[in-house]
Amino acid sequence: MPTNAASWRRVTAREEFCALFAEKLLRGPDGLLFTLHADGQLTGHVNGDAFSGQWRWLDGYFCRDLGDGREECETIETDGTRMRYIRNKGAGAAVIVSIA
């Protein structure tokens, strides 16, 4: 599947983000399988290990609790069927996940 820049567009509103991705099972690399719940909870597994946490939408970014008192805010993009999240408000590493 192509991942060229032209096929991706930024999601800037919580409502659109939830319509596209909330309450859906998402699959990423390295055994990542998770659900972002509309109530701000997140649950999943990575390499067989369960995790849970919280997320919120803040100033156009998806922000999640890292579990150690820190928060990571990410730019969210979609190509219509997949989500690409880019850490550090779009300045960090990108990860692409698909609806499972």
The answer, yes or no, to whether residue 3 has pLDDT greater than 80, is: no
Res 68 pLDDT > 90: no
User: Which range marks the domain in which residue 63 is found?
Assistant: 5-99
Instruction: Indicate whether 4 pLDDT > 80.
Output: no
Question: What values do phi and psi take at 54, rounded to 5?
Answer: -130, 155
Residue-wise pLDDT tens digits, 6-61: 699 999 999 999 999 999 999 999 899 999 999 999 999 999 899 999 999 999 99
Q: Please state the rounded mean pLDDT for residues 58-78.
A: 93
CA distance 6 to 26: 23
Radius of gyration of the chain (CA): 13
- CATH of residue 84: 2.40.128.640
DSSP 13-74: -HHHHHHHHTTSEEE-STTEEEEE-TTSEEEEEETTEEEEEEEEEETTEEEEE-SSS-EEEE
Return the biggest CA–CA distance within the chain. 36
Number of structural domains, the chain?
A: 1
Q: What is the pLDDT of residue 5?
A: 59
- pTM as predicted: 0.88
